[in-house]
Structure 1
Amino acid sequence: MVNPMNAVNDNPWIAEEAEAADAAAAENANGEEAAKPGKIKIEREQIKLEKRLCREVGKAILDYNMIEEGDKVMVCMSGGKDSYTLLDILRKLQKRAPVKFDIVAVNLDQKQPGFPEHVLPEYFQSIGVDYHIENQDTYSVVKRVVPEGKTTCGLCSRLRRAILYKVADQLGCTKVALGHHRDDIVQTMMLNMFYGGRMKGMPPKLVSDDGKHVVIRPLCYVPEKDTTRWAQYQNFPIIPCNLCGSQDGLQRVAVGNMLREWDKKFPGRIESMFRAMGNIVTTHMMDPQLHDFRNAKATGIADPNGDMAFDHEELPTMAALPGGVQVVQLS
């Protein structure tokens, strides 16, 4: 059986999309704009990014069976770069997907002061997508309940989730798609480790607590830098995310800044951490619910996989070591 994690080239979600992008690249290269190398370079970068986004989203959909025949997918739209990218890429894949599914874009207008309520409806109409705007004044509820100076995100998130589930029922949606990307998932993992004392991230697909809704995160393989760049290329009408007031002290902001600085200093670390979330060695953790440590006994029978108690530790590359540190390999 072919492992879907390795079946990228055979993924029916992305094959035709890649061919279409290649055709567009060839057409642009041969067009009248060929005399403008700067513009051609940008167009080529944009086409490469589109192919990459379609490939990563298509792979996530296949790996986790996110979208099935006859699904009605509710794409939750906040007006930020990630939700715009999610809607845009899903609509591109919808045209060539191996299954038929519908999309409806949904925005919850929480009546925050200054929220430009015209922006999203106008955008939805301009691209011809089915949409629904749900008007619920959760802002007043949060301001009334949460003490001044305290973070409002927790209560706001719970209210928003409950309302969106209700809207999904009303619209007959079978999947609820959220715009969380790879970096969000790693940040959540670190937040739970630092402040919650548990290893818990964001799953790519889950069933809600009431058992009625399936939530999917098709951008789970996509780094934030790609959604940022795609939003710039597409010139999406971004709605600022600071409408609730300044919350610079949020733990998520601090962790996000830390990870970005770390990735600058050690490129690839965020990707490595993300891969680790799908490559867990339960015998080397400390959760008794995942491994029966209490009853572990010597059996005299060798493990076919070798000695699992003492893994061979690979030495770090010289570039990753502090200055002046020397490595001596002992045989």
Structure 2
Amino acid sequence: MTDTSLSAADTPAQKAGRNALKLAKRLRHEVGDAINDFNMIEPGDRVMVCLSGGKDSYALLDILLGLQKSAPIDFSLVAVNLDQKQPGFPEDVLPRYLASLGVEYRIIEEDTYSIVKRLVPEGKTTCSLCSRLRRGILYRVADELGATKIALGHHRDDIVHTLFLNMFYGSKLKAMPPKLISDDRRHIVIRPLAYCREKDLIRYAEQKAFPIIPCNLCGSQPNLQRQVIRDMINDWDRRFPGRIENMFRSLRNVVPSHLADTRLYDFAGLRVGAALPDEGGDTAFDSETFSDPTAPVFDDEEAAPATVRRPVINILDTRVAGGCGE
């Protein structure tokens, strides 16, 4: 007799479970790839994960905890939340959640909400001042905790949005780097979700049932410039699938000789007979061809420029039995 349970179609629950597993694996690999490509986490690092209570930072902590268990290098994590004393902020949610994970954590209480409300006129955007205050506090706490890296939950869509914000409103070709050094040169900030799509993080948060805490200080403000950009790009994504992927990949394929910044390329020094730039010469009269927007940037790891090759240690590898290096 044939086992009908094997030949029957998957139940909705089975299909949902399989899709959830695929999503978790994809996000894990994207985070691992970003960490590898930019050498975000090194042996012995103490990573301070900034937890806001939103879907992105929850996902960041969850994925890093998973990688920490299996990675071939040892690194520690400490979750930090800044309680900015916003009215109605549920102070018990994050401590209860973090305690249930057994992860080291610190809750910092600073009344930046009152400062922002006092200094910013009614109806004006509070994000800029709020961010500066929050950044200064988190840098101080990183020193207190002995953190060697500060991990933020910005994802691929945030990076693309920032690119267009700077172009449209700041006249700069500038985005949000996956890794940077702070202005005081004392802190390394990393964004391990740099390769992750926001739509995937939304699904992941739903599947994990993270206890989301909304931001009532900035999230309730209408007509923010970032929201205008977000709506525009989301519309593009609906009408032209693959466009966001291409825009993000362009940030990893910069050609200074074909832009217009004299600080990055010596246009004034160009002379007849000089060697052509590595990026290619004049294509103004050529028919343009574009690659498949869904294709990876580098199909062959060895073909990638040395500046973006992954280090020898791959955080996605599984540690050997008995501990790292044994």
SS at structure 1 position matched to 2:214 = coil
Is the counterpart of residue 154 in structure 1 residue 141 in structure 2? no
Q: How much has 1:77 moved relative to structure 2? A: 0.4
Is the counterpart of residue 308 in structure 1 residue 271 in structure 2? no
2:235 maps to which of 261, 267, 282? 261
Listed as ranges, the gaps of 5+ residues in structure 2 are: 292-326
SS at structure 1 position matched to 2:32 = helix
SS at structure 2 position matched to 1:104 = strand
TM normalised by structure 2 equals 0.84
Matched residue, 1:49: 23
Is the counterpart of residue 204 in structure 1 residue 178 in structure 2? yes
Q: State how far apart, in whole Å, the 1-side matches of 2:264 and 2:50 are.
A: 34
Q: State how far apart, in whole Å, the 2-side matches of 1:76 and 1:266 are.
A: 34
Residues 116-144 of structure 1: per-residue CA shift (max 9 Å, x gap):
11110010011111100000000001111
Q: Within 5 A, what are the aligned runs for 1:201-240?
A: 201-240=175-214
Matched residue, 1:323: none
Q: How much has 1:248 moved relative to structure 2? A: 1.8
Residues 100-126 of structure 1: per-residue CA shift (max 9 Å, x gap):
000000000000011111110010011
Q: 1:294 to 1:111 in 2, by over 3 A?
A: same
1:77 maps to which of 44, 51, 54? 51
1:87 maps to which of 61, 78, 84? 61
Root-mean-square deviation (CA), in Å?
A: 2.0
Q: How much has 1:162 moved relative to structure 2? A: 0.1
Structure 1 residue ranges, 4+ long, deviating more than 4 angstroms after superposition: 304-307
Q: Within 5 A, what are the aligned runs for 1:1-150?
A: 37-150=11-124
Q: State how far apart, in whole Å, the 1-side matches of 2:74 and 2:184 are.
A: 27
Residues 36-60 of structure 1: per-residue CA shift (max 9 Å, x gap):
6110100000000011011000011
Q: Within 5 A, what are the aligned runs for 1:181-192?
A: 181-192=155-166
Matched residue, 1:252: 226
CA contact 2:127–2:218 (8 Å) conserved in 1: no
Q: 1:306 to 1:62 in 2, by over 3 A?
A: closer
CA contact 2:86–2:216 (8 Å) conserved in 1: no
Q: State how far apart, in whole Å, the 2-side matches of 1:316 and 1:163 are.
A: 45
Residues 241-270 of structure 1: per-residue CA shift (max 9 Å, x gap):
334462121000110010000110000100
Q: How much has 1:302 moved relative to structure 2? A: 6.2
Q: State how far apart, in whole Å, the 2-side matches of 1:71 and 1:48 are.
A: 29
Task: State the identity %.
Answer: 61
Listed as ranges, the gaps of 5+ residues in structure 1 are: 1-30, 318-331
Matched residue, 1:290: 264
Q: How much has 1:305 moved relative to structure 2? A: 5.9
Range moving further from structure 2, 82-91 or 305-314: 305-314
Q: State how far apart, in whole Å, the 1-side matches of 2:70 and 2:115 are.
A: 43
Q: How much has 1:303 moved relative to structure 2? A: 3.8
Report the count of equivalent residues: 285
CA contact 2:152–2:192 (8 Å) conserved in 1: yes
CA contact 2:257–2:265 (8 Å) conserved in 1: yes
Amino acid in the other structure paired with 2:23: L
SS at structure 2 position matched to 1:95 = helix
Q: 1:37 to 1:108 in 2, by over 3 A?
A: same
Q: 1:310 to 1:36 in 2, by over 3 A?
A: closer
Q: 1:305 to 1:208 in 2, by over 3 A?
A: closer
Matched residue, 1:270: 244
Q: How much has 1:149 moved relative to structure 2? A: 1.1
Q: 1:313 to 1:133 in 2, by over 3 A?
A: farther
Q: State how far apart, in whole Å, the 2-side matches of 1:304 and 1:115 are.
A: 55
Q: State how far apart, in whole Å, the 1-side matches of 2:40 and 2:289 are.
A: 38
Matched residue, 2:322: none
Q: 1:308 to 1:128 in 2, by over 3 A?
A: same
CA contact 1:114–1:243 (8 Å) conserved in 2: no
Between the two structures, name the one with larger relative contact order (CA 8 Å, sep ≥ 6): 2
Range moving further from structure 2, 304-313 or 138-147: 304-313
TM normalised by structure 1 equals 0.82
